[in-house]
Amino acid sequence: MNKINSLQLAVTFIITRLSAEMLLIPGELIKYGPNRFYAILFAKVIVLLLYLPAVFITLRFKGDNFITATMRRSPLLAGFLGLLFTMGITCIIADTVINLQLYITDTLLHSLLLITGVIMIIFAGFYGAYKGVSAVSRTSVFALCFFILLIVLIIITMMPDMDMVYLYPSFIEDGEYFIQSMTAEVSCNSELLMFAVLCANVRQKPNKTLYYLLAVFVLLEVINLIYNLVLGPFLDALEYPLYVISSLSDIVIFQRLDGIDAIVWLFASIIKISMLLVCVKQIYSTVTKKSGSTMFLAVFSLFCFGLCMIIGNDRIIYNSFQKFMNTALPIVFSGAVIPLIALIAGKKRKEKKDE
């Protein structure tokens, strides 16, 4: 099995979460004010709790992931859980691809057709997954470097336009937005699913990867701070706030950074799609006990392509799908509930054996 170190996985998770910041949180859930600062904090605590089942599995079954652990005890249950889990991942892939395509159409390339965008994004994701977990996690280092460079450039160039007047300390709005924002924050953490599968690939103790949450927390708060300081109440009217802020940044060579911003986000999102496909590949390999799964990966990618075309072509379906994804149910169910079931199943089986 391909092994990566926990730092590599942490970097990949940071990139995965950051890609969601631009694409998956709809504009209406990023609002001006201090609420989102707290929402990010609380969401991270909730996510940390959601990680517990997967962490317990790796501790209890000596570095195994939930699917391998279940496979040893009941292949049938493992197949069933793998199927459910794959469904969760499929939803996230479809969500990411469609949102990325919309983002690209809104920003970089107005004339990009849905089919073209989806094909290219899924192909790039497939290629990454085909190259394996090491290739994707190594590539994420470059994505993180680009991202940090972008943020630093934005901060430097926008420093004169940041207005401290826009910062105010306490809650003024009602709590409804806070709850919505926090749920959306939790729904963005697809790394939860990746961890449940990839914990088996980590060379050291996989729990170390979870330090990424701290880095993500800091980065998200910094980004949110930039939103508030630069845009103030105008933030409420924007769909892609960081893109707008990038378009204000002038770095002498380029008059505006929005194109670079879109590139970084596209890069990060492809890494995320690749990693999700890697997880599916790994589940398939474990359940079917086959080492070569390229053909399956190609078929699954085609299936994702079809799904994206169906959802992306119909605004009503897309809106319903988006609402469903924002409830954080797919993330919570696949990332926490399924590993929990695997943990309980493993325990019961062991008890029976002991009897």
Partner 1 sequence: MNKLRIAGAVSVLLLVLSLCGCIRYVELSDRAIVQAMGVDYLPDKGIYRISMQYFAQSSEGSKNQIDKTQANVLKSIGEGKSILQAVNNASLLTGKALLLSENRIIILGKEACRLDLKGIMEFFISNFHSHPQTYFACGENTAEEILDIRFKEGYVSSQHLIDIIDNAAALGKSSNEYAYTTMAQLMGGTKSTVLPLLKTEELATDGTIPPGGGNSSGGSGDKKEQQKETTVVPCGVVIFSDGTAKDKADEDVTMGIRLFYNAVEEITITINTDNNRTAALTLYDICTEITPRSIGDTLTFEVNTTAHARFDDRGSIGEVDTKGIEDAISKAESEIEACMKKALDKAKGCRADIFGLENALRNKNPEYYRAVKDNIGDVLFSAEFNLKAKCLPFSLGLQSF
Partner 2 sequence: MSDEFLNPEQAVNITSDIEQNCTIIRALMKNSTDLLMKYAVVDKKRLVIVTIEGMVNKTILADLIYRPLTFCDISCDSGKELLSKLENELLAAEEQHQIYTFSELSRSIMAGFAVVLCEGADFALSIGAQGFAHRMISEPSTHINLRASREGFIEVIRVNIAMVRRRMKSPTLVTNLMPIASRSNTDVCVCYLDDKADKRTVGLILDRLKAIPLNTVMSGAYLQSFLEEDNSSLFSQVFVTERPDVFASKLYEGRIGIIVDGTPFALVIPGLFAESFQTMDDYTHKPFFSLFMRTLRYTAFILSALLPGLYVALCNFNPEIIRSSLLLNIYSSTQTTAFPIFGECIVMYILYEIMREAGLRLPRTVGHAVSIVGGLVIGEITVSAGLMSAPVVLIIAATGLCSFAVPDLYDSCMFLRLVFILAGGIFGLFGITVAGVILLFRLCSKSAYGVPYMSPFAPIKPKGIIRDTLVRMGWRFLSKSDITATELKGNGKEDNK
Among candidate residues 299, 281, 279, the one with its CA nearest the CA of residue 290:
281
Give the CA count within 13 Å in the CB-facing half-sphere of 257: 25
Q: In terms of CB distance, is 122 or 210 closer to partner 2? A: 122
Q: Which does 263 bind (CB under 5 to 8 A by kind): partner 1, partner 2, none?
A: partner 2
* CA separation for the pair 43, 88 (Å, rounded): 20
- Scan residues 117-136 and list those touching partner 1 (CB under 8 A): 119-120, 123
Residues between 27 and 86 that touch partner 1 (CB under 8 A)? 32
Residue 165 binding partner 1, by CB under 8 A: yes
108-116, 206-214, 309-317, 335-343 -> range binding partner 1 (CB under 8 A)? 108-116
Q: Which of partner 1, partner 2, none does residue 288 bind (CB under 5 to 8 Å by kind)?
A: none
**Whole-number Å distance between alpha carbons of 58 and 9:** 15
In the list partner 1, partner 2, none, the entry touching 155 (Cβ below 5 to 8 angstroms by class) is none
| 56: amino acid identity, one letter | F
Please report how close the Cβ of residue 308 comes to partner 2 at its closest, in angstroms. Answer: 16
Instruction: Tell me how far apart the alpha carbons of residues 229 and 32 are, in angstroms, rounded to a whole number.
Output: 9
**What would the two tokens of residue 143 be?**
């994505």
- In the complex, the residues that contact partner 2 under the rule CB under 8 A are 2-5, 7-8, 11, 104, 108-109, 112, 116-117, 120-121, 123-124, 127-128, 131-132, 134-139, 141-142, 203, 252-256, 258-260, 262-263, 266-267, 270-271, 274
254 binds partner 1 (CB under 8 A): no
169: which residues sit within 8 A by CB, 6+ positions away?
34
Q: Under the phi-then-psi rule, with left for phi > 0, alpha for psi from -120 to 50, and beta for the rest, what region is 314?
A: beta
Q: For the CA atoms of 43, 24, 201, 14, what is the dihedral angle to 10 degrees?
A: -70
Residues that bind partner 1 (CB under 8 A): 32, 106-107, 109, 111-113, 115-116, 119-120, 123, 161, 165-170, 172, 231-234, 236-237, 240, 243-244, 247-248, 256, 258
